Amino acid sequence: MTPPTSLNKLAELATETSSQRRRELLRELTDLYFANHNTSSEIENEHFEEIFCRVTREMDKEVRKEMAKKFAPKSKAPLKLLRQLANDEIDIASPVLAHSSVLQDKHLQEVIATGKQPHMRAISTRDDLGTEVTSDLVQAGDDKTLVTLASNQNARFDRQSMQTMVSRSEKVIALQTPLVEHQDMPPDLMNEMYAFAEQKVRKRILERNEDIDPQVLQEALRKVKHQAKEPSPPRAKGFTAAKEQVKKWAKTGELDGSKLVQLERESKRLEFTLGMAELAGVDFDTIDRILKRSDMDALALICRAIGFDSSLFVTIALLTAKEDQANTGNSRQIRQMFISIPENAARRTLRFWQMRQKLENTQAA
């Protein structure tokens, strides 16, 4: 049973009008609650909780902050009060949202549904985030929230959430590093990021590829459910005929690096792009995007993986570069960039892209 002194103080707190005395009583009763919680009846604990909630709501911010800090780390604490504090101002809610084990996923999801980004960021730091909560955070969170979430190695993600964040990371550069480092990142999605990631992230992807067993990648791809691909953009006039011609060159052995150089010099960019895609074993859109961005790093990786030598790559790079990059004085720097990419790592990354392409072709069939 709750000791008479506790009941008396509880009654006093419920009727006290002096803010200073209420603060003192609230602190005393908080200590009594933790001391007697295990021996008090359920009804008695409910009385404590009800009055805690009402009085805390009426207290000033500093008192509510103090209550939040006291109750947040406790494994046994009044749920109703914690839910109230979790929806308070962020300075008050933060420790509860980040640390309270009493709050369940459904309570966290209720907070996420309010759309308060600072509260979502506090939730994103928790040590025990499951896929249902992270899925809600990924859908509702802004860029800053997603960076906080992706940086949490203890957060668990389903594939769809990872796919969503990978797509966001093309524009949100700060997302790229934490995503590549996260233990739940599927290897095929990580390698998709190479096409748009900044240079230091690309280097890290190549390093991580060295530690990935190809069988792990194959298993990850096998688990991918069929997903409708985004429709390809309208094709240029003559696309089908150009593709058929490239296939013929490949069949007769005419399609090689020299042929690509010839096509580009003749201003046949469509045939050049299709030819590069054919030699690399990836889709046209991947190569087209790299060329339109004049993405030297990605172009270097593909040429390195195909087996082109540095001189051939420099020629292709300068021919396809934007005007501000097409300076022959840059050839030494371009060559060095190409040589710095380990050939095995380049082939491994390209193999990931090829496997993904093969899966998509199989699903589309």
pLDDT at position 4: 45
* 53-59: long-range contacts, CB 8 A cutoff, minimum separation 24: 53/78, 53/80, 53/81, 53/84, 54/14, 55/13, 55/14, 55/22, 55/26, 56/26, 56/81, 56/84, 56/85, 57/84, 59/19, 59/22, 59/23, 59/26
Instruction: Please tell me the distance from the alpha carbon of residue 149 to that of residue 161, in angstroms, as a whole number.
Output: 11
| Distance of alpha carbon 14 from alpha carbon 133, whole angstroms | 37
Burial class (CB in 10 A: 0-12, 13-18, 19+), 343: exposed
Tens-level pLDDT at each residue, the chain (365 residues)? 444 455 455 555 545 454 666 666 667 777 776 666 655 556 666 767 777 777 777 778 888 898 899 899 988 888 999 999 999 999 999 999 999 999 999 999 999 999 999 999 999 999 989 999 999 999 999 999 999 999 999 999 999 999 999 999 999 999 999 999 999 998 888 988 988 899 899 989 988 887 777 676 666 656 554 444 555 678 888 999 999 999 999 999 999 999 999 999 999 999 999 999 999 999 999 899 899 988 899 999 999 999 999 999 999 999 998 765 555 557 888 999 999 998 888 888 888 888 777 766 665 55
Enumerate the domain spans of the chain.
Answer: 1-91, 239-364
Q: Is residue 355 within a helix (H) or strand (E), and if so which, with residue range? A: helix 343-364
pTM equals: 0.74
Predicted confidence at residue 192, as pLDDT, reads 85
| pLDDT given for residue 22 in this prediction | 64
| CB-based contacts of 282, cutoff 8 Å, min separation 6 | 302, 350, 353, 354, 357
| Angle 278-279-283 from CA coordinates, rounded to 5° | 40
